[in-house]
A and B are shown apart, each in its own frame.
Chain A
Amino acid sequence: MVARRKVAVVGVALSDCGRVDDATPYALHAQAARRALADSGLDRSLVDGFASAGLGTLAPVEVAEYLGLRPTWVDSTSVGGATWEVMAAHAADAIAAGHARVVLLAYGSTARADVRAGRRTGTLSFGTRGPLQFEVPYGHTLIAKYAMAARRHMIEYGTTIEQLAEVAVQARANAALNPEAMFRTPVTVDEVLVGPMIADPFTKLHCCVRSDGGAAVLLAAEEYVRDCRTSPVWVLGSGEHVSHAAMSEWPDFTVSPAAVSGRLAFERAGVRPDEMDFAEIYDAFTYMTLVTLEDLGFCGKGEGGAFAEKGRLRVEGGELPVNTDGGGLSAQHPGMRGLFLLVEAVRQLRGEGGERQVRRRGDGSLPRLGVASGTGGWFCSSGTVVLGV
């Protein structure tokens, strides 16, 4: 067997984010891609792999063409928000196997601007054929699906709405330290609870922001790391898992597919959850953070509510800083946020967090290990990546 090459993230970037009314999704992909390449310091000619999803009929062909790339390795895995963790894992495998040198992952969306301009509805219609004919009569919105899962956790484990609100409060506290975050004004549990009801028990601040924006990540084989202007962040292990599409096919609403992807990622990386210095967790809704903390093994099943209390998730003084940029709840959520998790994890491991930089408890040194766990659809899919320096 040929020895597998090590793989590092060598470039990361966000495009203009938040409120972007005058750019197409293509332009945001390209802006993020150019910034990530510039971040790495590598020459564009080295990029022989390209992965993207969400834009184009033949994804990722249209975006590759827009960027002027003619790759010899492509991926357009499309499993919702978890797409980017799964894609990064596939890219790392391809690089390790020698099928690609440098792979670019790029994403961009104008979800917020599209709703404002009437190009799409706020509630998405996914169709009425096949399996969808059995759910379309019932109006199970995306938010309602997550709300139903949260309610089941509350029923089985006594998790309270205040504990779920704590997740939003702490995400906002982290966002306050991030100049790129869309919402930075601190909120209280009470303010979360009295907001307008969207799908009970979720009021507005239990739900993510809707932003515009893009992101890009560049992965490279170890022999190109010395040519980069950045210090490498190594891909140590990854796992992926697909659960269900119809909510009626999900056996247990209190267990997310991160329970499988996380176990695989930690096993393959040869590290334990309690060795992580921080976690970036897909948080389209407060419940996702809470249940994913359980499923990644940071606490026991049913203990997520208590774990989320006492400021444990804050960058400032938290035992396990979670969603250090403010997350989808406060910083950015253009639709498939998973790539933003990888960007933020890499920035933290490089020590580029600025005011929101995570420091290790004890000696105050920079973090050495972090995990990014993406969730797609309505707990349909999960991808977990362990990164380290």
Chain B
Amino acid sequence: MTGRFDLPEPDAFTRTYWEAAAEGRLLIRRCRACGRTHHYPREFCPHCWSEDAVWEPASGRATLYTWSVVHRNDLPPFTDRTPYVAAVVDLAEGPRMMTEVVGTGSAGELSAGAELEVAFREGIPVFRVVPGAPGG
């Protein structure tokens, strides 16, 4: 297999998200009708179907819900990236997010509820453990 299997394919709507990420900002969506947030972003609010949903900067803070250290993935470039930490995190604003936790040597350093902060790798939001935070 050749090529890369880790590149997102932005569209007219999500371009805002990826352009912000390229500048080091994580965006979420908030509904002005029901007040609730969501991620991954949709044009409308998936909770109440209002079309009055807007982009909002996220704090970049999250807690670790669960993770797995991936040792096998034969799709490039992941083959060269293994082992890496696939993770699901809960953003401080509420929504859950699929991501990667970077900068950790092994899963032994991670624990549920660990405090994380967003980081960016080639315009992709990833997370790292907040230095000195409990559970980190």
Contacts and interface: CB of A to CB of B under 8 A. Distances in A.
Interface residues of A, number: 39
Interface of B: 1, 5-11, 14, 39-41, 65-75, 78, 81, 84, 86-88, 95-100, 107, 112, 124, 126
A270 interface: no
22 contacts: A122-B72, A123-B72, A128-B5, A133-B14, A134-B39, A134-B40, A136-B5, A137-B124, A139-B6, A139-B78, A140-B70, A140-B86, A141-B78, A147-B68, A148-B66, A148-B88, A151-B66, A155-B112, A199-B68, A200-B68, A200-B69, A247-B88
A140 B107 contact: no
A121 B69 CA distance: 20
Given A152-B65, A198-B72, 10 more contacts: A123-B74, A128-B5, A137-B124, A138-B86, A138-B98, A148-B67, A199-B70, A199-B71, A200-B71, A248-B96
Contacts of A149: 66
Contacts of B100: 137-139
Contact of B11 (A122, A129, A200, A202): A129
A227 B113 CA distance: 61
Interface of A: 121-123, 125, 128-131, 133-141, 143-145, 147-149, 151-152, 155, 196-202, 246-250, 253
Contacts of B86: 138-141, 144-145, 148, 199
Nearest to A152: B66
A121 B1 contact: yes
B88 A248 contact: yes
Contacts of A249: 96
Nearest to B72: A198
B7 A248 contact: no
